A and B are shown apart, each in its own frame.
Chain A
Amino acid sequence: MRDSLVHTSPGARILAAVGALMLTAVLAIVLGSVSIRFREILAALGVGPQQEVSVAAVHIVRLVRLPRVATAAGAGAALSLAGLTMQTVFRNALAGPGVLGVSAGAGLGVAVVLLTGVGVSVSMATVPAAMVGAALVLVAAIAVNRAVGHPVLLLVMGLLFGYAANAVTTLLLASAPGQGLERYIVWSFGSFALPPGPGPILLPTAAVLTAVGLAVAGPRVDALLLGSHYAESSGIHARRTQGILIAVAGGLTGLVTAYTGPISFLGVAVPHIARGWLGRSQHRLLVPATAIIGGWLAIAADLVARLPGNERVLPLNAVMALVGVPVVLFILLRGRRSGDGEGLGL
C-alpha cells in the first residue's frame, strides 16, 4: 500500500479519478428504468445517425438523465469542497458542510414553506425558502466569526444554531397538515431529480468556480493547516481567510441543500477519501481530487438509489450515509494506526 502511494504520482491518481467519474457518468446516462439502446442514446446526445432515435428517448436522455447526472456531479463536488474547506478551517476531521447549521437552516426554511401552508401551492417554493434559511444561518455565523474569531466557538455556535433550527422544524412538523408533512419528508430524503430549472447548470458551475478559486489560493489555505498562529506568522490574515472560506463553504452548502435536500454527509466523507487516495494534504492537489471524487460518488450513489429493477427510488440521504459511514470509519481508523491519519486529537 505504501509503495503504490510512492510510485503513482498524485497527478496520475487525479486522472484515474477523472476516469472513474466519466465512466460512472456514462453508466448513469445509459442505465435507467426505461431501457434505451446505446446507439439511440448517442443519437439523442447528438452523436451519430439521427434517423432511428425516438422522441421519447431524446426526452429521457436530454431532459431526465443528463440533468440528473449533472446535478449529482455538481452537488457532490460542491458539498465535498465545502466539507474540505470546513475541515481545513476548523482543523477537525469530523467537520463537514453542515457544521455551521447551514443545512439545518435550509431545512427550517423548507419546513416553514411546506408546513405552514404558505407555499404548498407554489411548485418550486422550497428552493428560495431553503436559500433564505441557509443564508440567515450563514450571516449569523459570519457575524459571530467577525466578533469572536475563534473557530472552536464558531463550531459550537453552529451546533447550537443547528439544534435550534431542527427544534423549530420539529415543532412545525408536529402541527403540520398531512400533505405538507409528506412533501417535507420527501424533500428531506434528498434527490438529484430536479424539477425543470437552472439547477443542473448552476450546481456544476458553482462547484467548478469554487474548485478553481480554492486551488489557486491553495498555498494560502495550506497555511491554515497548522492553525491560526502559524498562519499569521507566515503572513496570512488568518481570521479573514477563515471568514472567506466559511462564507464560500456555507454558501455552497446552502445552494446544494436548497436544490437537492439535506445530503451533506457526502461532504464529510469525501475529503478523507481524497487525502487517503493522494497521500497528500496540499490544497492544490486535494481540491481537484475532492471535487472529482465527490462528483463521482454522488453519481454512483444516485445510480444505486435508482437501481434498475427497483420499483421505488431509495432515499438518497440514506444510501449516502450507509455507504459513507463505513468508508470514513475505515479511513480514520487506518490513518490512526499508520500515523498518517487525522490525529483526531479528541
Chain B
Amino acid sequence: MTDAPVLIRDLRLSYPGGPTVLAADVLPIGSGVLTSLVGPNGGGKTTLLRCMAGFLPPTKGSVELAGLPVYGRGALSRRRRARMLSVVLTDRVTPAYLRVEDLVALGRIPYRSVIGTADAQDQYAVRHAMEQTGVTHLAQRTVGRLSDGERQRVMIARALAQEPQILLLDEPAAHLDPPHQTALFQLLHRLVSEGIVTSAVVATHHVHLALHFSHELVLVGGGTVRTGTPHHLLESGDLEHAFLHGLDGEDAPVLDRNRGWFVPKDEGGS
C-alpha cells in the first residue's frame, strides 16, 4: 500500500480561518490508473488536486508520493517533488514571444543545475514530450498563436518533459470543443496505458468523458470523497447523488446512465 503513487491519509482540508472543506480518511491513487475527480462546483476537486500538488498544506493528515511525505517533517524538497509530480493548471499562460519548445523546456528546470545549460538528456526529454503529445510541428510557434486545444497539448508536453510519475490536471478540457475534449482524454488514457506516466489525476466537469476513459473515479462533494470504478459508482447511484446533493426539488435533473449526462426528470434517464 505504501508504494501507491499518491496516498492520502486522514486528510482535512480548509482555507485559512475557514471551516473544513474536505475530509478523506484514506485515498490511494493506484499505478497504471487514470483517475478522475468529479463532483459539483465548490465540492473541492481543485482544492484536493492543489493539496496533492503541494500547493495547499492540509490542516490535518498526510499526503505521500511513493511513500514520501509532501508536507510536514521530512517532506520532499520542491525539486525532488518536481521530479515525481507535474501539473497542468487552469492558470492562463501567455508570456510574450515564448516559443513552444522553450515553454516545454521549462519542464526541465528540476533537472538543471543553477548555472548549467540544457544537456542532451534535457533536449531528448523535450523532443520526446512534444512527440508524445503531437506538438512537434508547433515547436517554433509562439504560445500566443496556438489554439486552445494546441495550447493544452503543449502544457501537457511541458508537464511530461518533467518526466513525472504522477500527472495532475485541473479542468484540462474546460476551454475545448467536444472533439478536442475527447481527444484530450484519449491522450491522457494513452499516456497512462503506455506507462509514460504511472498515474494521472484529472479534476473535471466532463462526467461522460470521465466515465468513459477513467479507470477510477473519485467523487468529491458534500465535504467527503468516495472512490470506485466508474461502473460501480454509476450503478450504485453514488455519482448521481454526489451531484444532486441538496438539489432534491421537483425540477432536479436526473443522470442518464447510458450517456453520462444530466437530463430533465420527465425524459427519464435510464
Q: Identify the A interface with B (CB < 8 A).
A: 6, 91, 93, 216-217, 219-220, 222-223, 225-227, 229-230, 232-237, 272, 275-276, 278-282, 335, 338-343, 345
Residues of B14-73 contacting chain A, CB below 8 A: 53-55
- Is B91's CB under 8 angstroms from A226's CB? yes
Cβ 8 A contact of A229, one of B81, B87, B103: B87
Q: Specify which chain B residues have a CB less than 8 angstroms from the CB of A279 in the assembled complex.
A: 97, 142
Closest to B162 in A: A234
Bound complex: CA of A335 vs CA of B110, how far in Å? Answer: 31
Closest CB of chain A to B52's CB: distance in Å?
11
- Is A282's CB under 8 angstroms from B102's CB? yes
- Which 6 residue pairs of A and B lie closest in terms of their CB atoms, listed nearest first? A343-B94, A235-B82, A235-B79, A235-B110, A339-B144, A339-B145
Bound complex: CA of A339 vs CA of B94, how far in Å? Answer: 9
Q: Specify which chain B residues have a CB less than 8 angstroms from the CB of A282 in the assembled complex.
A: 102
Q: Specify which chain A residues have a CB less than 8 angstroms from the CB of B193 in the assembled complex.
A: none
Closest to B102 in A: A282
Closest CB of chain B to A191's CB: distance in Å?
32
A-B contact list, 20 entries, CB within 8 Å? A91-B95, A219-B109, A220-B109, A223-B106, A229-B91, A232-B54, A232-B55, A233-B55, A233-B85, A234-B107, A234-B162, A235-B81, A235-B83, A275-B97, A278-B97, A281-B96, A335-B97, A340-B145, A341-B97, A343-B96
- Is B109's CB under 8 angstroms from A345's CB? no
- Is A340's CB under 8 angstroms from B109's CB? no
Q: Specify which chain A residues have a CB less than 8 angstroms from the CB of B114 in the assembled complex.
A: 216-217, 220
Cβ 8 A contact of A341, one of B92, B96, B106: B96
Bound complex: CA of A237 vs CA of B79, how far in Å? Answer: 9
Bound complex: CA of A342 vs CA of B93, how far in Å? Answer: 10
Closest CB of chain B to A337's CB: distance in Å?
11
Closest to B110 in A: A235
Closest CB of chain B to A63's CB: distance in Å?
39
Closest CB of chain B to A46's CB: distance in Å?
37
Question: Does chain A have a CB within 8 A of B152?
Answer: no
Chain B contact residues: helix, strand, loop or mixed: mixed
Closest CB of chain A to B81's CB: distance in Å?
7
Cβ 8 A contact of A280, one of B81, B97, B145: B97
- Is B78's CB under 8 angstroms from A343's CB? no
Bound complex: CA of A334 vs CA of B60, how far in Å? Answer: 51
Bound complex: CA of A217 vs CA of B109, how far in Å? Answer: 11
Question: Does chain A have a CB within 8 A of B120?
Answer: no
Closest CB of chain B to A293's CB: distance in Å?
15
The residue among A223, A230, A234 with the most chain B CB atoms within 10 A of its own CB is: A234
- Is A6's CB under 8 angstroms from B140's CB? yes
Bound complex: CA of A342 vs CA of B143, how far in Å? Answer: 11
Known contacts: A233-B86, A234-B82, A237-B78. The answer to whether A216 contacts B91 by CB under 8 A is: no
Q: Specify which chain A residues have a CB less than 8 angstroms from the CB of B79 in the assembled complex.
A: 235
Bound complex: CA of A234 vs CA of B159, how far in Å? Answer: 9
- Is A225's CB under 8 angstroms from B95's CB? yes
Q: Identify the B interface with A (CB < 8 A).
A: 53-55, 77-83, 85-87, 89, 91-99, 102-103, 106-107, 109-110, 112, 114-115, 140, 142, 144-145, 162
- Is B140's CB under 8 angstroms from A235's CB? no
Bound complex: CA of A339 vs CA of B86, how far in Å? Answer: 27
Closest to B77 in A: A235
Q: Specify which chain A residues have a CB less than 8 angstroms from the CB of B98 in the assembled complex.
A: 225, 280-281
- Is B145's CB under 8 angstroms from A281's CB? no
Cβ 8 A contact of B95, one of A217, A232, A276, A281: A281
- Is A230's CB under 8 angstroms from B91's CB? yes
- Is A93's CB under 8 angstroms from B96's CB? yes
Q: Specify which chain A residues have a CB less than 8 angstroms from the CB of B109 in the assembled complex.
A: 219-220, 222-223, 234-236
- Is B96's CB under 8 angstroms from A342's CB? yes
Closest CB of chain A to B155's CB: distance in Å?
9
Known contacts: A234-B82, A234-B109, A280-B102. The answer to whether A340 contacts B91 by CB under 8 A is: no
Known contacts: A229-B89, A230-B91, A232-B78. The answer to whether A216 contacts B142 by CB under 8 A is: no
Bound complex: CA of A6 vs CA of B98, how far in Å? Answer: 14
Bound complex: CA of A216 vs CA of B144, how far in Å? Answer: 27
Q: Specify which chain B residues have a CB less than 8 angstroms from the CB of A281 in the assembled complex.
A: 95-98, 102
Q: Specify which chain B residues have a CB less than 8 angstroms from the CB of A223 in the assembled complex.
A: 106, 109
Bound complex: CA of A275 vs CA of B94, how far in Å? Answer: 14
Closest CB of chain A to B154's CB: distance in Å?
11
- Is B144's CB under 8 angstroms from A340's CB? yes
Closest CB of chain B to A4's CB: distance in Å?
14
Q: Specify which chain A residues have a CB less than 8 angstroms from the CB of B110 in the assembled complex.
A: 234-235
- Is B82's CB under 8 angstroms from A226's CB? no
Q: Specify which chain A residues have a CB less than 8 angstroms from the CB of B82 in the assembled complex.
A: 233-235
Bound complex: CA of A285 vs CA of B84, how far in Å? Answer: 29
The residue among A217, A237, A340 with the most chain B CB atoms within 10 A of its own CB is: A340
Closest to A335 in B: B96
Closest CB of chain B to A228's CB: distance in Å?
9
Bound complex: CA of A235 vs CA of B53, how far in Å? Answer: 11
Closest CB of chain A to B88's CB: distance in Å?
9
Q: Specify which chain A residues have a CB less than 8 angstroms from the CB of B96 in the assembled complex.
A: 93, 272, 275, 281, 335, 340-343
Q: Specify which chain A residues have a CB less than 8 angstroms from the CB of B142 in the assembled complex.
A: 279, 339-340
Bound complex: CA of A192 vs CA of B113, how far in Å? Answer: 40
Q: Specify which chain A residues have a CB less than 8 angstroms from the CB of B83 in the assembled complex.
A: 235
Closest CB of chain A to B39's CB: distance in Å?
22
Bound complex: CA of A335 vs CA of B81, how far in Å? Answer: 36
Q: Specify which chain B residues have a CB less than 8 angstroms from the CB of A235 in the assembled complex.
A: 77-83, 109-110
- Is B78's CB under 8 angstroms from A236's CB? yes
Q: Specify which chain B residues have a CB less than 8 angstroms from the CB of A338 in the assembled complex.
A: 145
